[in-house]
Amino acid sequence: MGEHVSSNWPARLHVVTGKGGTGKTTVAAALALGLAATGRRTLLVEVESRQGIAQLFEVEPLPYQELRIAQAPGGGEVRALAIDPEEALLEYLDMFYHLGAAGRALRKVGAIDFATTIAPGLRDVLLTGKVKEATTRSQDGKRVYDAVVLDAPPTGRIGRFLNVTAETAKLAKVGPIKNQSEGVSSLLRSPITAVHVVTLLEEMPVQETLDAIAELKALNISVGRIIVNNARPALLAGGKVTKAELKRGLAEAGLPTDPTTVNGLATEAKAYLTRRELEESLRGELAEAGQPVIELPLLPGGIDRAALDELASSLMRA
C-alpha cells in the first residue's frame, strides 16, 4: 500500500476513546493492524490494567514490555504494551534518581501504590508520559515507532486523562513532573496526535461522543475522526412494511405464511425501521460535530483475528 493510504491517517499518536461498550479496544486494535499493514511499525498501548488487548488477541496477559503481537502482510508489525502505573513510576524514578533496590522495597510496603493514588493526576501523568516516550523514542537516529495507538480511558474520563497539565498544576508547581506533564501537553496539542472517538448509533454513546469532542476542542487537543462501530446495512429502503405484501413474498419464496411467521417478521421489520429512523437522526447529530465520520460494519461472526483484519482494512480505506 502506498502514500495515498497513509495520508488518510497522518497522525503518529492515535488516541482511541469511546463510551464503555462501544468497542474502543477492538477499534484501537484494528487501527493498529491497519497502520501496520501500510508498513508502519506500530505500538498498541493500553493503560487501564484491563488486559483487553491480550484478551482480544487471545494471548497471555501482557507484561510491562513491548511484545510483538501481530505481523501484518505488508511487512509491518504491531507490538503491544500494557502500561502499569506502578511500573511506570518505578521506571521513572529509576531514570531520574537511580532508586534500584530501594524502589523494589518501596513496592513491597505498598508505597508505590500509595504514591500513584495520592496525587490526583500523577497516575495519568505517568501513563501519558510513557505514551509520549514511546511516541518520540528513537534509536540510532531513527524513530522506533511510526505509529502509536492508545486504547484510552472512556469518553467520560478522557478530558481529565489527557489534560494532564491542569491536573498536576493544582498540586505540583515545580519539578520534573511539571516538566513532563508540559511535554505531554504540547504533544497532545500538536498535529502528531489525533483523538478518535468510537461510538455506536445509540443515544448515550452519541451524546457522550459529542460531549467529549466539545471538551477536547475546548482543551485545544487535536480531535481526529468519529468512528461509528457496528453499523448495520441499510435495508427496507421503502420504509414501509405490510403484512399482505409479506405474505405474498413469503409464499413466492416457498416459506411458511402462517400468522406467527408473518406477524413475527412484520414486528421485527417495524422495530428495524424505528431503529433506523433513530440511527439516521443520530448520524445527523454526529455530522454536526464537524469531524470526519467513518462507519465500521457489524460483523455477524463476532470479533476474531480475521474480523480485526477486516475492520483494519475498512479503516484504512476510509
Partner 1 sequence: MVPLTEDTPRLDVDGLLADPSTRIIVCCGAGGVGKTTTAAALGVRAAEVHGRRTVVLTIDPARRLAQSMGLSELDNTPRQVKGIDAENGGELHAMMLDMKRTFDEVVQQHTTPQRAAEIFANPFYQAMSSTFSGTQEYMAMEKLGQLRATDEWDLIVVDTPPSRSALDFLDAPARLSRFLDGRMLRLLLAPARSGKSMFSLVTASFGLFSRAVQKVLGAQLLTDLSGFVSALDSMFGGFRHRADETYRILQDPQTAFLLVAAPERDAVREAAYFAERLVAERMPLAGLVLNRMHGSTAGELSAARSEQAAAALAATGEQTMTADALLVHAALMRQAEREVRVAETFTDSFPAVPTVSVTAQPADVHDVDGLRTIGALLVRLGDEA
Residues 198-217 that bind partner 1 (CB under 8 A): 202-205, 207
| Shortest CB 158 distance to partner 1, Å | 13
Q: Using CA atoms, how far apart are residues 38 and 36, in angstroms rounded to an integer?
A: 5
Distance of CA 276 to the CA centre of its chain: 25
Q: Is 281 in the site for partner 1 (CB under 8 A)?
A: no
List of long-range contacts for 152-157, beta carbons under 8 Å, 24+ apart: 152/15, 152/16, 152/17, 152/24, 152/47, 152/195, 153/17, 153/47, 153/48, 154/17, 154/18, 154/19, 154/20, 154/24, 155/17, 155/18, 155/19, 155/197, 155/208, 155/209, 155/211, 155/212, 156/19, 156/208
- Looking only at residues 116 through 135 of this chain, which bind partner 1 when binding is defined by CB under 8 A? 117-123
- The pattern of x and - marking residues 210 through 249 that bind partner 1 according to CB under 8 A reads ----------------------xx-xxxx-xxx--xx-xx
Q: What are 68's three cell numbers?
A: 510483538
Q: Using CA atoms, how far apart are residues 39 and 190, in angstroms rounded to an integer?
A: 23
**Nearer Cβ to partner 1 (52/76):** 52
| Shortest CB 131 distance to partner 1, Å | 17
Q: Is 143 in the site for partner 1 (CB under 8 A)?
A: no
Q: Is 260 in the site for partner 1 (CB under 8 A)?
A: yes
- Looking only at residues 88 through 117 of this chain, which bind partner 1 when binding is defined by CB under 8 A? 93, 96-97, 99, 101-103, 105-106, 108-111, 114-115, 117
- Looking only at residues 154 through 193 of this chain, which bind partner 1 when binding is defined by CB under 8 A? 154, 156, 160, 167, 170-178
Q: Using CA atoms, how far apart are residues 16 and 31, in angstroms rounded to an integer?
A: 9
| Shortest CB 257 distance to partner 1, Å | 11
Judged by CB under 8 A, which of 250, 293, 307, 318 binds partner 1? 250
Nearest to 218 by CA among 157, 163, 145: 163
Distance of CA 281 to the CA centre of its chain: 24
- Looking only at residues 46 through 85 of this chain, which bind partner 1 when binding is defined by CB under 8 A? 48-50, 52, 55
Helices in 163-258 by DSSP H: which ranges? Answer: 164-169, 176-188, 203-218, 243-252
Q: Using CA atoms, how far apart are residues 124 and 11, in angstroms rounded to an integer?
A: 22
**Nearer Cβ to partner 1 (119/192):** 119
Distance of CA 243 to the CA centre of its chain: 43
Q: Could you tell me which stretch among 8-16, 37-45, 269-277, 305-313 binds partner 1 (CB under 8 A)? A: 269-277
**Nearer Cβ to partner 1 (63/249):** 249
Judged by CB under 8 A, which of 146, 272, 292, 295 binds partner 1? 272
**Nearer Cβ to partner 1 (114/143):** 114
Total residues binding partner 1 (CB under 8 A): 88
| Shortest CB 53 distance to partner 1, Å | 12
| Shortest CB 195 distance to partner 1, Å | 19
3-state helix, strand, coil in the chain (%, to 5): 50, 15, 30
